[in-house]
Amino acid sequence: MEKPYQCSQCDMTFSHNSYLIIHQRTHTNDKPYKRVQCEKPFSQNSDLVGHQRTHIGDKPYQCGQSDKALSQKSNLIKHQRVHNGEKPYQCTQCEKAFSQNCNLITHKRTHTGEKPYQCSQCDKAFSAISNFLRHQRTHTGDKPYQCSQCDKTFSVKSNFIRHQKVHSGEKPHQCTQCDKVFSRKAHLIRHQRIHTVEKPYKCTQCDKDFLQSAHLKRHQRIHTGEKPYQYTQCDKAVSQNTNLIGHQRAHSGDKPYQCTQCDKAFSRNAQLIGHQKTHTLENPYQCSQCDEAFSDNSYFIRHKRTHTGEKPYQCSQCNKTFSDNRSFLRHQRIHSSEKPYQCTQCDKDFSLNDELIKHQGTHTGEKSYQCTQHEKRFSEKSKLIKHQRKHTGEKPYHCSLCDKAFSQYSYFIEHKTTHTVKKPYKCTQCEKAFTWKNYLIIHQKTHTSEKPYQLAQCDKAFSQNSDLIKQQLIHTGK
C-alpha cells in the first residue's frame, strides 16, 4: 500500500493525510479534544469518545469468549488476543513477540538502553511510562486505587486488582500437571518450575541457579555485601526487607504471630512455623544420604553441605569459606567487632540473635522444649533433639572411614581427627598438641592453675567441669 504522506520530524509514512495530522500531534503534544466534565484533553476524537464512556459506564463492545465488556473497540481487539494468543508485534533484534505495540516499544528499549522518562525530583530514569508514573507516587504518596470492600488504597493498579481477588477468592490460573490453582499468572509460572525443575536465574559469580528472580537478587547480596534496608532507630542495615521488619519488632517488642496450642508469641511467621513443629514433632525434610530428618528446610540445606563439603559463603577480608550463612555472618563480626543484639535486662551484647535468646533464658529460666518420654525440659530445641537420641539410640553421623556412628555432630568431627592424626591446636607454653580446641583450653589451665569450677557444698575448686560433676555426685550420694 502506497504511503505518500511523510512526517517531517521522523521517518514514519501514512496512506492518508488525516493519519499524518493525528500522528504529528504526538510531536507537538497538541490535544484539541477536551471532555467538559473532567477537562481531560485528547489528541484524537475517537479517544475522547472512548473516554466519555468511562463517565457514563457504557461498554458496547462485548467479548464473544467471556463476559468481559469494553468501552472501546481497540481495547476489545487487544483483549481478544488473550484468548487467541495472537502476538503480531515482533522484535527485530530478538524473537520476542507481543500482543500490543506499546509493549514492543517498551521492550525495544531493553536493547537500546533508552530511558526517556526522567523523574524531576530524583533524576531517576525509566524505559516504561507505567514504571515512571508508579515511581512518582513514591514522592507524592498518591494511592488512587481504593478497594470498595475494605477501603484499602493502592498506588499501583496491578496490586489493587490482585488485592480484589482476596475478597472474591478467584484463582483463574490452573496448573496443567496438578490441580493447584493460583490468583496470579506469575505464581503459576513460578509453580510450574517445580515440575520442570527449571532454574532460569543464574548467579554469574558462583553458578548457583534459582527458581525466582527475587531469590537471585537476594543471593547476589552475599557476594556484594549490599545491605539496602536500614533501620531508622539504630545503625543496623540488612540485606533483606523481611530481616528489617523482624529487627524493628525486636525494638518495639511486637510479636504478632501467636501459637494456637500454647501462649507463646513470635515476631516472625517463620519462627511460629518452626515452633509449631515442636508440638507435632514433624520432620518432613529427610536426608537421602543418612537417616537424619529436619523440621525446617534451612536446617536441611545446611545439613546436606556436611555431605557435599560445599562452602558457598566466602569472607572478602580473609577468604575463609563457610557452609552456612549464619557462621559466615558470625565470622564477619570478628573483623567488625559488631555486637548488634543487646539484652534489655543486663546490657550484655551479642553478635548473634540466637545467642541473645539463649542468654535471655538465664534471666527468665524458661524451658519450653519438653522430652516426650519424661518431664525433662530444655531451653533450646537443639538440646532436646540431642537428648532424645539417648532414648532412641539414634546415631545419624556415620564415619566413612570406619563403621563408627555418633549421636552428635561434634563427636563425629572430633572422631575424624583420629584418622588424620592431625593436631592443629598447640600449647604455647609446652610442645603438647591437641586434636580438639576444648582439650587445649582444659590443658592450658594446668599451666595457669586456674580452677573456675567451684563446689557450693565445700570450698573445693576444679579446673574441669567434669571433675566438679564427679565431686557433686559424691556429696549427693548418687
Q: Which residue has the cell 557433686?
A: 472
Q: Is residue 375 included in any domain, yes or no?
A: no
CA distance 370 to 384: 7
Q: Is residue 440 included in any domain, yes or no?
A: yes
Q: Is residue 249 included in any domain, yes or no?
A: no
Q: Is residue 62 included in any domain, yes or no?
A: no
Q: Is residue 299 included in any domain, yes or no?
A: no
Q: Which residues of 290-315 are buried (b: 16+ CB within 10 A; e: fewer)?
A: eebebbbeebbebbbebeeeeebbbe
Q: What is the pLDDT of residue 200?
A: 81
37 DSSP assignment: T
Q: Can you give the CATH number for the domain in which 466 is found? A: 3.30.160.60
CA distance 91 to 108: 7
- H or E segment at 161? helix 157-168
Q: Is residue 46 included in any domain, yes or no?
A: no
Range of the domain at 465: 427-476
Q: Is residue 42 included in any domain, yes or no?
A: no
Residue 230 has φ and ψ, to the nearest 5°, of -115, 135
CA distance 433 to 425: 6
What is the reported pTM? Answer: 0.32
Considering its fold, how many domains does the chain have in total?
1
pLDDT per 10-residue tile (average), the chain, 478 residues: 81 82 76 65 69 71 85 82 87 88 86 88 86 85 85 83 80 83 81 78 81 81 78 70 70 81 80 74 76 76 84 84 81 78 78 76 75 83 84 85 84 77 82 81 82 76 76 69
Q: Is residue 168 included in any domain, yes or no?
A: no
